[in-house]
Amino acid sequence: MPNTFGKLFTISTWGESHGAAVGVVIDGCPPGLPLSEADIQGDLDRRRPGQSSIVTPRKEKDQVEILSGVFEGKTTGAPISMLVRNSDARPGAYDEMREKLRPSHADYTYLTKFGIRDHRGGGRSSARETVGRVAAGAVAKKLLSQKKIEIRAYVSRIQDIALPPGTPKGFPTEAEVEASPVRCPDPATADKMVARIEDVRSKGDSVGGIVTCRIRGVPAGLGEPVFDRLEADLAKAMLSLPATKGFEIGSGFSGTLLLGSEHNDAFVPKAGGVGTATNRSGGVQGGISNGEEIVFAVAFKPTATIMLPQATVDTAGAATELTGRGRHDPCVLPRAVPIVEAMAALVILDHWMRNAAQTRTFSS
């Protein structure tokens, strides 16, 4: 089931960029959760196009409709089907892409694999598919909030413009992240990032960077010792997002420069349990959460679509040239923030439920 994610709280997304609609079906949702469209629209608004001057101008309200699984304002345990109509589709804008393969896009690989391709705005390979993930993630977040688990992603680097070391201080609030359209919680850095994106856009080019995600309130015990390590499932979740090229947890790649004596997180007694003096583990040890903050980072490449002429081939394999058209993000990171949060929420919630099934039901 290549379009399904999760084991117990599972989501199945469907839809193409310029088809009738995009949507998601959640299966396995616990019953009794108060839920309405309003709970979901907020994150969809953070993801939607046209929200600011540094993202694509495509105009979509991305208004969600809940079609099933909710009765008199509460979830019933039945599948929750949610749908968002595509209203500003302009398939004609993509006529040139019917024949020409966009470099570093999915055009060539999708066509080769399936022998057929909806060329309009990437079809199924479009980031528009993430509407369903964000809608489902909003439900997951609401459930996790019952357990006092909070997830916060933000842009920590655009090209070479990075958050200064030691910032943000503490766990940033959503307001701090949302204060800038680039979703970087340090105002001065955010301004530089916005300027960079505007500059790059004005040249018809694009730019990438890094999203950091932090999760607090996760108790020790979520995850598995072997294949379904919490970091493995987070890595899969993040690398399943369009434009991602890398994932690291805790000390990540730079941690490989340290000696073991420098890298280990000493255990220390803590009110109500055990803590660690440092957090190079990023909140996960041996695949299982240790109660510290979970911290990971995701690398997003510069948007593949640029407004500059590029060498490419057509569907017959002959050399040609292509200049990007249509409406595109010069930088995907601002809109990626709620998507990263959604995927993180889905992973944590799924492991919560898995853990409950195996370790809290039978006693010795």
By beta-carbon proximity to a second copy, the closer residue of 136 and 177 is 136
327 binds a second copy (CB under 8 A): no
Q: How far is the CB of 153 from a second copy (least distance, A)?
A: 16
From 46-54, 103-111, 166-174, 177-185, give the range in contact with a second copy by CB under 8 A.
103-111
125 binds a second copy (CB under 8 A): yes
Q: How far is the CB of 29 from a second copy (least distance, A)?
A: 8
Q: Cα–Cα distance between 247 and 210 in angstroms, integer?
A: 10
CA distances (Å), origin 327, targets 53, 89, 180, 233, 330: 12, 11, 22, 33, 10
Which residues in the 130-149 window bind a second copy by CB under 8 A? 143, 146
The β-bridge relationship of strands 273-276 and 267-270 is: antiparallel
By beta-carbon proximity to a second copy, the closer residue of 186 and 231 is 231
By beta-carbon proximity to a second copy, the closer residue of 29 and 190 is 29
Characterise 105 by phi-psi region: left (phi > 0), alpha (psi -120 to 50), beta (else): beta
What is the amino acid identity at position 271?
A
Decide if 23 contacts 83 (C-beta within 8 A).
yes
Rule CB under 8 A: choose which of 54, 55, 101, 151 binds a second copy: 101
Q: Cα–Cα distance between 345 and 146 in angstroms, integer?
A: 13
Q: How far is the CB of 174 from a second copy (least distance, A)?
A: 22
By beta-carbon proximity to a second copy, the closer residue of 48 and 110 is 110
Decide if 263 contacts 247 (C-beta within 8 A).
no
Q: Tell me whether residue 341 is exposed, middle or buried, using C-beta atoms within 10 angstroms of its C-beta: 0 to 12, 13 to 18, 19 or more.
A: buried
Rule CB under 8 A: choose which of 200, 339, 344, 348 binds a second copy: 200
Fill in the per-residue mask, 247 to 276: x = in contact with a second copy (CB under 8 A), - = not in contact.
xxxxxxx-xxxxxxxxxxxxxxxx--xx-x
95 binds a second copy (CB under 8 A): no
By beta-carbon proximity to a second copy, the closer residue of 166 and 358 is 358
Binding residues for a second copy, rule CB under 8 A, total 163
Rule CB under 8 A: choose which of 52, 59, 286, 323 binds a second copy: 286
CB neighbourhood size of 301 (10 A):
16
Which residues in the 303-322 window bind a second copy by CB under 8 A? 303-306, 308, 310-313, 317-319
Characterise 276 by phi-psi region: left (phi > 0), alpha (psi -120 to 50), beta (else): beta
What is the amino acid identity at position 326?
G
Q: Cα–Cα distance between 138 and 350 in angstroms, integer?
A: 14
Tokens of 269: 């007694």
Nearest residue to 350 via CA among 39, 11, 13, 1: 11
209 binds a second copy (CB under 8 A): yes
Q: How far is the CB of 175 from a second copy (least distance, A)?
A: 27
Contacts of 243 (CB under 8 A, 6+ apart): 127, 208, 300, 301, 303, 304, 332, 336
123 binds a second copy (CB under 8 A): yes
Rule CB under 8 A: choose which of 191, 221, 293, 326 binds a second copy: 221
- For the chain, how big is the Rg over CA atoms in Å? 21
Q: How far is the CB of 195 from a second copy (least distance, A)?
A: 15
Rule CB under 8 A: choose which of 44, 136, 288, 336 binds a second copy: 288
Q: Cα–Cα distance between 18 and 38 in angstroms, integer?
A: 25
Rule CB under 8 A: choose which of 46, 47, 58, 124 binds a second copy: 124
Q: Is 248 helix (H, G, I), strand (E, B) or coil?
A: strand
Which residues in the 60-79 window bind a second copy by CB under 8 A? 65, 67-69, 71, 74-79
Which residues in the 13-52 window bind a second copy by CB under 8 A? 13-16, 19-23, 25, 27-34
176 binds a second copy (CB under 8 A): no
